[in-house]
Amino acid sequence: MHSRILAGVTVGAIALVGAALPANAAEESSAKLSVLHGVPDLPVDVYVNNELTLDNFAPSDLAGPLELPAGTYSVAITAADAADASAPAIGPVDLTLAAGGNYTAVAHLNAAGEPTATLFLNDTTATAAGEGRLTVRHTAAAPAVDVLAGGSAVISGLTNPNEQVLNLPAGTVSASVAAAGTTDPVIGPADVTIADGVNTIVYAWGSLEAGNLALAVQTIDGLSSAPHGIPAGSVGLAADSDTGSLVWLGSAALLMLIAAAGVTVSTRRREAAQSK
Amino acid sequence: MRVRFGIGLMALLVLSGCSGTPAVPQGVPSAPAPLTTTPAPGAGLGEQPPASPAPETAIVVPDVPRQNSSIDAQVTREVVPPVNISVADLELDMPVLGMGVDGDGAMDLPQNTGEAGWYRFGPAPGDPAGTTVIAAHVDSAIYGLGAFARLREVTIGVPVTVRTADGAEHRYTVSEVVRTPKSDVPLGDLFDREGAARLVLVTCGGEFDRSTGHYLDNVIVTAVPE
């Protein structure tokens, strides 16, 4: 049991190394950690470095984010009525948190239905103006799945405990989860909000066999970018001057002529009025 | 008449010398930073609660924020969009439409110079923090000169009223009027989401480059809540 969990965490850690960290990562010495409970029907206690950190943590609960100094933490998850961390149901596992990283540790079932834990690194790189990010994580006791939006697969063949990340225009996506290669939903359809500058992380968790598959949502905001500019004119009617041509010189000359004519006309009118 | 025209002509001849280079895209992620790990022996969660660090001797379960992650428990942000802006001193009174981003990643604006656009991905007038950005085309070949052209004439202290869809009137006072070459516009600051609540009105101005069809400057009016 232990060795299998550790192996799973190692795979996760290898996947993390290649992922992008936020631009300011080097300046920070702390990391952010959230914890998601994705094991059905099992209230737990979460111990970090043997300290009880989450007491009576219920399925579907999301805790955090905690701001922690970068480093390696030992996490053990016990049944909620355990007296201490000596007989964990999951772990203990070592979670290595790099400076500037934003992580979610998920207690969940593996594809075979056994409790395990996976550490995911959340993508907190900036999103383009008008876009949000959708991260889908397979943490359910279920085979490979497709994620369907508007009836067609936007993610194909996602397996436990992996993720896929999409950058999408802000809006609402009606998403459902189906067994890979099929379109008959096992979860959903459910409306998922894609907000500008927000990484919306959707977890499929639970067990297909037990019929308790569900979706959990975590959001990480503050990733927005400003638009590239505000192009608010197109003709030049309000311009101080033109560049790129000498048209304005001609216009100015014309305006001078009109003005001169106006002065002449008004002078004549005044003279005419005075003569009356 | 002749004197006033002379001043106008002088203004026409003033070249502000700004460049037409496109604004630098904001928020482009830099290269991934190296993963560095600083071992922190003994730095347990119980000793490092996020808000107020407790002494190392404290043995308490930290008050970690928890929420139900169920997709059915998610609450979407309620936004009350602005629908009208008026500046009585400028005889400016126009509808406001929610606008997003165009194909080039710039803020999209109504083509009609009689309508202003609100950046709908950013803060709204009722929000406690951040900048509500409302911009309008200064001119158009179809619709002619827009009322936002008169923003250049606004002075500090002038009241601005924005009405939101719920009928509420949000009153502001102009605190700053600047004209900045587009390449120098601090877009990240202008579209700020976390600082003090304020209203920023933007249009184009300055020189007009006929070869690109763009003005070289943005006229930026900042107003603070009354």
Residue extents of the structural domains in chain A: 2-268
Yes or no: say if A111 and A143 are a contact pair by the CB < 8 Å rule.
Answer: yes
Q: What chain A residue is nearest to B24 in terms of C-alpha separation? A: A228
What are the angstrom distances between the C-alpha of A48 and each of A45, A243, B62?
10, 65, 11
Chain A positions in Cβ-Cβ contact with residue B61 (cut-off 8 Å): 52-55
Rounded CA-CA distance A122/A16 in Å is 9
Q: How far apart are CA A186 and CA B148, in angstroms?
A: 53
Burial class (CB in 10 A: 0-12, 13-18, 19+), A87: exposed
Q: How far is CA A81 from CA A11, A50, A56, A88, B148, in A?
A: 31, 16, 8, 11, 66
Tens of pLDDT along chain A (276 residues) come to: 343 443 334 333 333 333 344 444 444 689 999 999 999 999 999 999 999 999 999 999 999 999 999 999 999 999 998 999 999 999 999 999 999 999 999 999 999 999 999 999 999 999 999 999 999 999 999 999 999 988 789 999 999 999 999 999 999 999 999 999 999 999 989 999 999 999 999 999 999 999 999 999 999 999 999 999 998 776 778 777 554 443 444 344 444 444 444 444 444 444 444 443
The interface predicted TM-score of the complex, written ipTM, equals 0.74
R_g of chain B computed on alpha carbons = 23
CA distance B35 to chain A (A): 6
Residue position matching structure tokens 């409302």: B134
The 8-class DSSP code of residue B106 comes to S
Task: Provide the shortest C-alpha distance from residue A200 to chain B (in Å).
Answer: 11
pLDDT in tens, B157-209: 999 999 999 999 999 999 999 999 988 899 999 999 999 999 999 998 878 88
Burial of A194 by CB count in 10 Å (0-12 exposed, 13-18 middle, 19+ buried)?
A: buried
User: What is the chain B residue with the closest CA to A101?
Assistant: B35
Residue from B2, B35, B57 whose CB has the most chain A CBs within 10 Å, to mutate: B35
Q: Verify whether the Cβ–Cβ distance A225 to B25 is below 8 Å.
A: yes
A-B C-beta contacts closer than 8 Å: 297
Q: What are the angstrom distances between the C-alpha of A267 and each of A259, A270, A272, B2, B24? A: 12, 5, 8, 12, 54
Q: Is B17 left (phi over 0), alpha (psi -120 to 50) or beta?
A: left
Yes or no, beta carbons of A63 and B65 under 8 Å apart: yes
Option in B12, B41, B141 nearest A240 (CB):
B12
Coil, strand, or helix at residue A261? helix
